[in-house]
Amino acid sequence: MKTSITKWAKLNKFIKVITVSAVWLGLWFLISAVIDKEILFVSPYRVVLTFAELVKEPTFWQSALMSIFRIILGFVAGMIFGIICSIAAHRFELFKLFITPFFNVVRATPVASFILLAWVWISDNSNIPIFICFLMVLPIVWGNVTTGLNEVNSGFLDVSKVFKFGWFKRLKLVYIPSVMPYILSAATTSLGLSLKSGIAAEVLCTPKFSIGKEIYNSKIYLETPKLFAYTTLVVIISVLLEKLVLMLVRRTLKKYNVGGEKHD
């Protein structure tokens, strides 16, 4: 009985998703038909045709893979550095006082300003998107992990001291299960931001073999179907990366036997 209810719930959700998608697709067709100017607004059919043409070109795959590589590299570096800074700040009050203004400035400064500054600072344009992704991830990881460390159950810490746990055992049994939901929440939140900021950096600095450069060229040469196709590619990459991260989140939470309420 429970299995049949679960299957019906999944089927019902699938039908709703298909219906909503069909409505939005219909609106897209309707708007393109009303405007009737491809240079301003492209129909879904034209986007699919353009996308099918692009996937046959080697530069399409080179641009997609290089953009994904830059974004993931900046994202991972930001996660690692943000976690290290959070741990250091939790351990040393002086470091916390020193580093907090930096993260506040990064959080408040527009992405475009950092991209333009990075353009001045960094000679190799291909490294600018990596730096921007790294910078955008930092304050999110910092905020989440710092909160997680501050909310570690003091009772668990007292028990670990009573039983004289070593630092590794205390890390494994107390800190990691308590902080992991906050780390994973930071990962899921910052992934989308790093993707958008990374592509924006590519559009402005146009590194070789990048989605951002293709988007910029499409705008310059008024190739609106190509612009829509590459934008669709960004959406597809975003969805796939989000699914991948969520899968890793669920596996990690299951491994450490902690709840996932912090990242829903």
In terms of domains, do 139 and 186 share one? yes
In terms of domains, do 95 and 5 share one? no
Contact between 206 and 213 (Cβ < 8 Å): yes
Q: 190: domain CATH number? A: 1.10.3720.10
In terms of domains, do 209 and 116 share one? yes
Question: What's the pLDDT at 85?
Answer: 92
Distance of CA 255 to the CA centre of its chain: 23
CA atoms within a 13 Å half-sphere pointing along the CA-CB vector of 30: 6
Domain that residue 3 falls in = 1-36
Question: What's the pLDDT at 183?
Answer: 86
Question: What's the pLDDT at 74?
Answer: 94
Nearest by Cα to 140 from 198, 179, 83? 83
In terms of domains, do 16 and 117 share one? no
In terms of domains, do 107 and 95 share one? yes
Structure tokens at 252: 């990690």
In terms of domains, do 79 and 12 share one? no
In terms of domains, do 169 and 57 share one? yes
Neighbouring C-beta atoms of residue 118, cutoff 10 Å: 20
For the chain, how many structural domains are there in total?
Answer: 2
In terms of domains, do 74 and 193 share one? yes
Consecutive 10-residue runs of the chain (264 residues): their mean pLDDT?
66 84 90 88 91 91 94 93 91 90 90 90 90 93 89 68 66 75 86 90 91 92 90 90 80 63 42
Question: What's the pLDDT at 187?
Answer: 87
